[in-house]
Structure 1
Amino acid sequence: MTSYLQERTLRPGPSPDALGISSPGTPSQGVGPRANALSSRITSVLSASYSDLDIRDALETLDARGIKNNQETRRRLRLDVQKEVIQCNADIIKDFGQVAAQLRRIGVAIENLNRCCDDMRAHINASNRESAPVLEEASSLFNQKVQVETKAKLLDVFNSHFIISERDVMVLTSTSEPVNDEFFQVLTRVKKIHSDCQILLGSENQVLGLELLEQSSKQLNAAFQKLYRWIQREFKNLDLENPQINASIRRSIRVLAERPALFQSCLDAFAGARENILSESFYNALTGTGESQMKPIEFQAHDPLRYIGDMLAWAHSAAVSEKEALEVLFVSEGDEIARSIKLGLESEPWTREDGEESGQEAYDGRKALNELVSHDLKGVARLLRQRTEQVTQSHDDPVLVYKIANLVAFYRSTFKKLVGEDSEVLEILDELQDSAFRRFKANMQDHLVTVQSDLGAAPEDLSPPEFLTEALNMLKALLTSYDTSMATADDQDSSFQPVLTEALDPCLNACEKMYKSLTEPENDVFAINCLMQTRATLTPFTFTGDRITELGSRLNKHASNLVAYQHRYLLDESGLNTLIFALGEVADSKDSIAKIPTLPPFSPDSLVAISQKLDDFLPSALMDARENVKCLNNAQIAQDITEHAADKFCEDFEAVEEKILAVDEMQDGKREDEEEPCMRDLFPRTSGEIKVLLS
C-alpha cells in the first residue's frame, strides 16, 4: 500500500482538460450532463479520506496482491476482481450441489424409516387390542391387592392400639396382681385408648367407637377401684417416720387424683387414721405409756407454765414432722396432682362443686397439705384444750394465767405460719387464748376488789401506796411476758391495751380517789409520785408508747399545779403579793402610774414594811419553798418546779420594780422637800439581787 501511495503521489495527475473539466474562462462545448457527472465523481474521489477503514482495507488488499500502479493494471483491475468473484460463486455452487445430493439420500432414508414406523405402529395397535382386557383385569387385581394389604395393616394397627390382651386386662383389674410399673403402663395405654375413641365417634360407623369407649371405661373404673383399695391398704401400714417413702405410693396418689371423689375419700380415710395415731401418741407422751422412752409430760404438772409449754411444743413438733412427711406425698410431685384433679373435673363435671368455674384450678397442693395436717392434729388439739383449760381454771394467779395466754398466743403465731390461717387448730388455740384471758380478767377483778376494800389514806410520806407498788410489780411481769410472746409490731399497742385496762387503770383510779382527799400541795406531790413510778414501769417496753404519752400529759398537769402553788407561796411569804394585787388595776399610762403613790400598799410605811418582810424572806426562800415539795421522790422534778416558780417570781418582781422606777422618774423635780425619800429608797431591792438570791 505504501508503494502504491508513493507512486500515486509522485505521478502527476491528469490535467483538467484531460478529465473534461474546463477552466473558469473556457465555455462548455455541449457536454453539460457528462461533465457534471464526471465532476461529481471526481469531487467524491477527492473528498474521500484515506483514513477511512474501508479504503485502508482495500488498499491493504491491493498491496498484498503486489499490484503495481500503472495504466494496464488499472484497466484490468475490475475485470480481475469480477473474475475472482465469478470463480468463487462457481465454487460455492459446486459445494451446494454436493449438499443437495446428500439431502436427497437422507430423504430416501427418512422415507424408509417412516414406512418401518408405520408398520410397527400397526403391529403395536393390534397387540394393544388383543392385550387390553388382560391388562385391565391385572390392574384391577393389583388394586384389590393393595386395598387388602392396606386394610390388613389398618386392622393390625387398630388391634395393637385399641385392643389390649387378656394378660393386660388381668394386670389392670385383678386384685391379685400387684400395683407396679406394669400396672401403670397398662393404665396409661387404656387411658390413651379411651381418649382416642373420640375420633371413632366422629366416623360414619359409630358402633365400634361406642363399644370400645364402653369397654375402656369399664376397664378404667375397675383399675381406679383397684388402685383406691391398694392405696388404702398401704396407708394403714405407712410409716411416715421413714424418710424414704415408697415412690409407688406417691405415683399412685398422683394417678388416683384423676378421680377426685376417690382421691378425696382416700384423703379423708387417711386423715382419720392419722388423727387417731397422733392422738394416741400424744396421750402416750402425756402419761408415759406405750413404747416412748421420754419422760412423761405430766411429771411437770406441778409447774403449770412448763406443763402447758411442753404440750404445745409436742404438738408443734408433731405438726412439723407430719407436714414434712406429707409434703413428700402430696407436694413433692409439683403440680402433677393439681393437673390430674383438673383433668378429672373436666372429664367428670358432675363432681365439680357448685359455683366452681370450669377453668378454675380446683386443687392447691399447699392448701390441701395444710388442711390435711390440721385435720390430723384435731384430736391432739382437743386433748390440749381440755388439759390447758383445767390448768387455767384451777389457778388464781393472774400473772400465771396471763403467761399461759401469751404462751398460747406465741404457739398460735407459730402454727399460723405452719398450717395457714384457716386451720381448725388455730380456732382451738384462739379459744384457749380467749379462755385464758377471760380467766386473767376474772382473777384481776377479784384481786382489785380485795385491794379496794382495804383502801385507806395516802402514806404520810406521799409515796405510792402499797397496792399500787404490788400492781406495778405484777404489771411488770405481765409486760415482760407479753414482750417475749412475739406479738407483731403492728398490733402490739392495741393488743396490750386491754391488759392495761384490767391491771393498771383500777389502781390509778384508786390513787385518784386518794388524790382528791388530800390538800394542796400534798395531792399533786402524791399524784406525781404515783405517775412517775407507773411511767418508770412502762418505759422499758416499746409497745406502751400511747400510755406513756398519756401519763406524761398528766404529770405535766400536776407539775404545773405545783409550780403555781410554789409561785403563790413565794409571793405570799415575800409580801410581794400585796403590791402585785394593788398594781393589777394600774395601766401603763402616765396618769395611771402617777396614782401609784396614793395606793395604800405603796405608802411609805407599808412599802418599808413589805421591803423588810422581803429581806427577811429572801435568805431562806428557796429552802422554804423546797420544803413544800420535799416528798417528791424525784429530786430533779422538785428542783425544776421550784426553779420555775422562782423564775416567775423574778418576773413579777421586775414588773413591780419597773412601776416604782417609773413613779420616781415622774416625781423627779416635783418633790417639794428634797430630803423626802423616793420610792426606790423605801424599796431598795433590785431584780438582779433577787435573781442572785433565788438562783
Structure 2
Amino acid sequence: RHRAGAGGTAPGPAAAMKVIEQKLKKVLDLHTESPEITESLDALATFYGRRGNTLEARRSLRSDLERQGLHLARAFADEFADLEAAFGEVEGYVDAISDGCDRLQARLGRTEARTNAFLAAADEMQSERQRLADRARRVEGFLDQFELSPAQRAAIHSDPVDEDDGDAFFAALAKVQLIRSRCTALLSHSSQSVGVDILDAMAEHQEVAYERLFAWVERWCVAQEGRDADADAAGAAFLRSALAVLREREVYFRQAQRAVATLRRRALVDRFMAALTVGGPQGVPRPIDMHAHDPHRYVGDMLAWLHVAFATEREALQGSFGRAEAGRAEAAASAASAVAVASCCVLAAACCGRHTPT
C-alpha cells in the first residue's frame, strides 16, 4: 500500500512499479554471502527461540529486539551501579580537593599579599639602610676632617710629648691647626653653630698642647743644668721643634726663650769658670788664671775664649730658635745678648780679681 499523494489521490501504476523496482534492486544488491550479513542473520535466529522462524515470530521481532535491548541496558546499568557509586565518591573527593585548592589559593593570595608587603618593606629598609650608610660615610668624612682621632687626642693630652721624637704630638697639633683653618673657612661662608663648637674644642686642644710643650721645655732646661746641653742631640732637636711651635703663643715663647737663655748663660759661665781655673781636658790648654800676673795676656786670653764661645753660642741659639725668619733671628739674638751680658759680668769680675758672677 502507498499513501496518498500531496493532492490526496493514489499514485499511478507507473509510480508504484518504480518504487517496487527500487526495493527489488536494493534486495538484489545485497551481498548475502558476506560475513557481516551471515553473522547478523545468525544473531537474529537466536531471538526466535523455541517458537521457531514463524510468521508470528518474525512479526514480533521488532518488539523482541527492543525488549532485549532494554534488558541489556538494565543489565549494563546494574553492572555500572558500583562504578557510578565509586565515581560519586571520587567526585566527592574531587570536590573536597577543589575546595581545598580554593582555600589554598586564597591562602596563597593572602601570603602573596603579605610577601609583597614584606618585599616592599624590605626594599624601603634597604633604601633607608643605603641612605644611612651614605650619611654615615659623610659623617665619617666630616669627623675625619673636623675631629681628632683617639690616638691624636691621646698624643696631645696624655702621651709623652717627645715620644718617637714628637712625631705623633706634632702631627696631632698640625691636625688641630688644620681643623681650625677649615672651621674658619666654614664660618666665613655660613653661620653654623657646629663650626663654633669645633673651634672651641680645637682651641682647648691647642692650649693643652702649648702648655704641655712649654712644660717639657722647662723640664728639659732644668735637667740640662750642670751638664753639656749640646750632648743631648735628640733633646736639642726636639727643643728646636718645640720653640718653632711655641712661636705661635707669644707668652709661652717668651718664657721658653728666657728658660733657654738661662740654661745657655749658666752653661757658658760654668765653662768660662772652668777655662779660668781648670783649663782644658787633662790640663790642655792650661788655665787662663796661670797668666794672671800678665794683665795683657790674661785679658787677651779671656777675650779670645769669649770670642770663640760667643760664636759657638750664637750658632747654638740660632739652631734652637731658627735663623731664616726675622722673628726667630730676633729671638736668637735676644737670647745671645742675655748670655753675653752674663759673660761680660764674669769677665769684669775676673779682671777685678773675682771669679764669681755678680
What is residue 305 of structure 1 aligned with on the other side?
A: 296
Q: Mind listing any 5+ residue stretches in structure 1 that lack a counterpart?
A: 1-136, 339-362, 392-695
Give the conservation status (yes or no) of the 8 Å contact 1:200–1:208.
no
Give the conservation status (yes or no) of the 8 Å contact 1:170–1:177.
no
**Gap change, CA 1:170 and 1:302, over 3 Å in 2:** same
In structure 2, C-alpha distance between the alignment counterparts of 1:365 and 1:292, rounded to whole Å: 39
**1:266 equivalent in alignment to 2:291:** no
Q: Give the drift of 1:167.
A: 2.9
What is residue 198 of structure 1 aligned with on the other side?
A: 184
* Pairing 1:7-22 to 2, within 5 Å after superposition: none
Give the conservation status (yes or no) of the 8 Å contact 2:162–2:169.
yes
Q: Give the drift of 1:233.
A: 2.4
What is residue 346 of structure 2 aligned with on the other side?
A: 383
Give the conservation status (yes or no) of the 8 Å contact 1:275–1:379.
yes
What is residue 184 of structure 1 aligned with on the other side?
A: 170
Give the conservation status (yes or no) of the 8 Å contact 1:285–1:292.
no
Give the conservation status (yes or no) of the 8 Å contact 1:174–1:226.
no
What is residue 215 of structure 2 aligned with on the other side?
A: 229
Give the conservation status (yes or no) of the 8 Å contact 2:243–2:256.
no
**Gap change, CA 1:366 and 1:185, over 3 Å in 2:** closer
% same residue: 28
**1:207 equivalent in alignment to 2:193:** yes
**Gap change, CA 1:148 and 1:203, over 3 Å in 2:** farther
Query: What SS is found at the alignment partner of 2:248?
Result: coil
Q: Mind listing any 5+ residue stretches in structure 2 that lack a counterpart?
A: 1-119
**1:165 equivalent in alignment to 2:145:** no
In structure 1, C-alpha distance between the alignment counterparts of 2:135 and 2:189, rounded to whole Å: 16
In structure 2, C-alpha distance between the alignment counterparts of 1:389 and 1:178, rounded to whole Å: 45
| Superimposed CA distance per residue, residues 313-353 of structure 1 (whole angstroms, 9 cap, x where no aligned partner) | 1111211221222232233xx63xx4xxxxxxxxxxxxxxx
Give the conservation status (yes or no) of the 8 Å contact 2:280–2:287.
no
In structure 1, C-alpha distance between the alignment counterparts of 2:256 and 2:213, rounded to whole Å: 11
Query: What SS is found at the alignment partner of 2:293?
Result: coil
**Gap change, CA 1:205 and 1:373, over 3 Å in 2:** closer
* Pairing 1:16-55 to 2, within 5 Å after superposition: none
What is residue 309 of structure 2 aligned with on the other side?
A: 318
- Which one has the bigger helix percentage? 2
**1:250 equivalent in alignment to 2:244:** no
Q: Give the drift of 1:373.
A: 1.7
Give the conservation status (yes or no) of the 8 Å contact 2:257–2:331.
no
Q: Give the drift of 1:381.
A: 0.4
Higher mean displacement: 199-208 or 266-275: 199-208
* Pairing 1:517-596 to 2, within 5 Å after superposition: none
**Gap change, CA 1:204 and 1:298, over 3 Å in 2:** closer
Q: Give the drift of 1:206.
A: 2.5
**1:281 equivalent in alignment to 2:244:** no
* Pairing 1:355-434 to 2, within 5 Å after superposition: 363-388=326-351
What is residue 327 of structure 1 aligned with on the other side?
A: 318
**Gap change, CA 1:175 and 1:154, over 3 Å in 2:** closer
How many residue pairs get matched? 227
Match of 1:151 among 109, 113, 135: 135
In structure 2, C-alpha distance between the alignment counterparts of 1:214 and 1:314, rounded to whole Å: 52
1:326 alignment partner AA: L
In structure 1, C-alpha distance between the alignment counterparts of 2:243 and 2:161, rounded to whole Å: 18
What is residue 519 of structure 1 aligned with on the other side?
A: none
In structure 1, C-alpha distance between the alignment counterparts of 2:204 and 2:281, rounded to whole Å: 47
Give the conservation status (yes or no) of the 8 Å contact 1:326–1:369.
yes
Q: Give the drift of 1:370.
A: 2.8
Give the conservation status (yes or no) of the 8 Å contact 2:156–2:172.
yes
Match of 2:203 among 196, 213, 217: 217
Query: What SS is found at the alignment partner of 1:377?
Result: helix
- TM-score (normalizing by structure 2): 0.55
Give the conservation status (yes or no) of the 8 Å contact 2:313–2:336.
yes
Give the conservation status (yes or no) of the 8 Å contact 1:288–1:296.
yes
1:369 alignment partner AA: A
**Gap change, CA 1:218 and 1:312, over 3 Å in 2:** same
Give the conservation status (yes or no) of the 8 Å contact 1:232–1:266.
yes
Highest RCO, 1 vs 2 (Cα 8 Å, sep ≥ 6): 2
| Superimposed CA distance per residue, residues 287-330 of structure 1 (whole angstroms, 9 cap, x where no aligned partner) | 23897734221221111111111111111121122122223223
In structure 1, C-alpha distance between the alignment counterparts of 2:307 and 2:345, rounded to whole Å: 14
In structure 2, C-alpha distance between the alignment counterparts of 1:204 and 1:373, rounded to whole Å: 48
Give the conservation status (yes or no) of the 8 Å contact 2:276–2:288.
yes
Give the conservation status (yes or no) of the 8 Å contact 1:243–1:325.
no
In structure 2, C-alpha distance between the alignment counterparts of 1:177 and 1:389, rounded to whole Å: 46
Give the conservation status (yes or no) of the 8 Å contact 2:146–2:179.
yes
Query: What SS is found at the alignment partner of 2:148?
Result: coil
| Superimposed CA distance per residue, residues 585-638 of structure 1 (whole angstroms, 9 cap, x where no aligned partner) | xxxxxxxxxxxxxxxxxxxxxxxxxxxxxxxxxxxxxxxxxxxxxxxxxxxxxx
Give the conservation status (yes or no) of the 8 Å contact 2:279–2:288.
no
In structure 2, C-alpha distance between the alignment counterparts of 1:152 and 1:185, rounded to whole Å: 26
In structure 2, C-alpha distance between the alignment counterparts of 1:371 and 1:252, rounded to whole Å: 18
Q: Give the drift of 1:199.
A: 3.8
**Gap change, CA 1:240 and 1:389, over 3 Å in 2:** same
Q: Give the drift of 1:230.
A: 1.4
RMSD: 3.4
| Superimposed CA distance per residue, residues 178-237 of structure 1 (whole angstroms, 9 cap, x where no aligned partner) | 442111111111211122122443566632122211111101110111111112223344
Q: Give the drift of 1:372.
A: 1.8
| Superimposed CA distance per residue, residues 157-188 of structure 1 (whole angstroms, 9 cap, x where no aligned partner) | 11222222333212111264644211111111
Q: Give the drift of 1:267.
A: 0.8
